[in-house]
Amino acid sequence: MPGGLSPSDFTALMPEFVLTGVALLVLLADAFLPRARHGAIAWFSLAGLVLTAAVLVPYAGEHATAARGMVAVDGFGAFFKFLFLLAAALTILMSPRYLQVEGVRPGTYYFLVLCATLGMMFMASGIDLVTIFIGLETMAISFYILVGFIKPNRRSNEAAVKYFLLGTFSLGLLLYGMSILYGLTATTNLRAIATILASGEHHPWLPLAVILLVAGVGFKIAAVPFHMWAPDVYEGAPTPITAFLSVGSKAASFAMLLRIFFEGLPSANGDWGLLFYALAVLTMTVGNIAALTQSNVKRMLAYSSIAHAGYLLIAIVAATRVPQTGVKAALIYLVVYAFMQFGAFGVITLLRRHDVIGEELKDMSGLFQRSPLVGTAMLLFMLSLGGIPPTAGFMGKLWLFSAAIDGGYYWLAVIGVLNSAVSLYYYLRVVVFMWFKGDPTGSELVMSPGMAILLAITIAGTIAIGVYPRPLFDLADISARTLGAGGITATLR
Amino acid sequence: MTPITPVHYMVLSAALFIIGVIGVMTRRNIIVILMSIELMLNAVNINLVAFSNLWQNAAGQVFVIFVICVAAAEAAVGLGIILAFYRNKETVNIDEMTLMRW
């Protein structure tokens, strides 16, 4: 066989190539454009993301592999790629004014955001351990730099060091698990691994590989007990990057989780299903209880994001018995979560002014009097995160819990519902501060065009999915079907 | 003299990996922690090369080259981050990272 990529591979990887091209142009623009014109880079990056999404559209109905089986070109991957592009676009929309207030030059900021997105896209489409690993690292290394991007800020430095150390440590665990998997099967292709493991005898080393892989993935999705980096990193990172981390990185890690465990290790689902069950219960409970006592809103949202990873794990556990319903529920919830989480972080970014950090709960005081529109938007996002109808959060949770019930995991659904009830306390506490406390600063909020677009998109998404969820459900349904070589229903039996 | 079997490589790799994990858990100096993580990655490399030889299959060696490249990129970025931290804080001890609760 001749080496290299064939012309059809180039066609199959076109969205990734387009995004790479845009990222390189952004890097060039940063070097050669006069300092005064740098504001255009953000808009150029946005245009690049929209272009990539447009190129991606025809791939949504595919179900094939490319580059010698290293990459899957399917609806499942396309669904996640659209989500990553949306997350990156929302991040870029809220960035220019934030960077200006923090007093840092954008420099390579937008390039790194695009690189992280590129890594996520390969995590979602990789069906080879090497592809997934490279995608993961492209994303992670970009994030290490982005988290510490505000160099004079000590909190940003500290967050970057913590994220870097725990990120590489988890990579070590993940890679060791992958090396054992390669040792057992003599291949790095996940679908080939699945075939060999299904036909072979019981491997005594397989549980060890599964444990290491679950631990490595657990760090990336910030599941308890692998969550200790998340609150510090989320608090210290620039707010737009916190939002991107909590949505983009989490969604990409869930895509990686689904690829590794459903494509590569379906025959061991008894082992990892049990582990994820325990992780789901722990993650929901610890995340919600820890969030109750936080006074910093970014930190509170970090714990809430940990709790949401726990809810998502319910869908993963349910998918071991009802694959189609479970995976579909996870896909729906990730989209819902993206809208409400970005909305909430958008409001926090809006509160950041030269003299006010705007992250503490008391900075929310009187928000409704200061700006009724922003106050109402924050109310909507908090209700959605808490899962109150008629918001998107309610629809997402409804699907998660009904998937758990379909799979026969009644206790998991009960624990999930109880946890949602607990979470209402800290979401509504924000609302109490906004509506019933006076405003100590009395200063006006400055709405930049990017922020206005961001809030419009997130509000529209949160309401639209809550009121008319049909299109998203149908899309998630079709996309979930294409996971695995023979489709999701053939993957787990 | 007994020949070197794959089991020998696996024991070496497991020992290196465990030393790395213990180093990450117990050391307080960021640079030493970074070195321990590199030990873990090298344990992975030994495993992959040994299995590659066992199965007479090149995929493992290709994987190793990627792991080495990524480890180099991570070390470059990581040392940069640690340098930025040191400039503000004049220390590379993780016990001094007290701005946010660890």
- Given pLDDT bands bounded at 50, 70 and 90, which one contains residue B102? very low
- Tell me the mean pLDDT in the region A100-119: 91
Quick one: angle between helices A392-406 and A372-386, nearest 10? Answer: 0
Cα separation, A379 vs A465, whole angstroms = 17
Higher pLDDT, A109 or A447: A109
Contact in structure between A338 and A396 (CB atoms under 8 Å): no
Which of B36, B63, B98 is the best residue to mutate to test the A interface, defined by the most A CB atoms within 10 Å of its own CB? B63
Cα separation, A55 vs A81, whole angstroms = 11
What does the pLDDT look like over A92-101, one tens digit per residue? 999 998 998 8
ipTM here: 0.95
- Tell me the mean pLDDT in the region A462-478: 94
Out of A155, A165, A235, name the one closest to residue B33 (CB): A165
Distance from CA of A142 to the nearest CA of B (A): 9
- Given pLDDT bands bounded at 50, 70 and 90, which one contains residue A381? very high
Number of C-beta neighbours around residue A491 at 10 A: 20
Q: Report chain A residues whose CB lies below 8 A from the CB of B63.
A: 129-130, 133, 178-179, 182, 188
Instruction: With 0.80 as the threshold, say if the pTM is over it.
Output: yes
CB within 8 Å: B97 and A186: no
| pLDDT at residue number A492 | 65
CB within 8 Å: B81 and A231: no
Higher pLDDT, A484 or B50: B50
Mean pLDDT of chain B: 91
B34 touching A, CB under 8 A?
A: yes
Higher pLDDT, B72 or A268: B72
Which of B55, B57, B77, B91 is the best residue to mutate to test the A interface, defined by the most A CB atoms within 10 Å of its own CB? B77
CB within 8 Å: A172 and B99: no
pLDDT at A335 over 60: yes
B7-44 burial, b for 16+ CB within 10 Å, e for fewer?
A: eebbeebbebbeebbebbeebeebeebbebbbbbbbbb
- Given pLDDT bands bounded at 50, 70 and 90, which one contains residue A120? very high
What does the pLDDT look like over A121-147, one tens digit per residue? 999 999 999 999 999 999 999 999 999
A211 touching B, CB under 8 A?
A: no
Beta-bridged to residue A387, according to DSSP, are: none
| pLDDT at residue number B92 | 86
- CATH annotation of B6-96: 1.10.287.3510
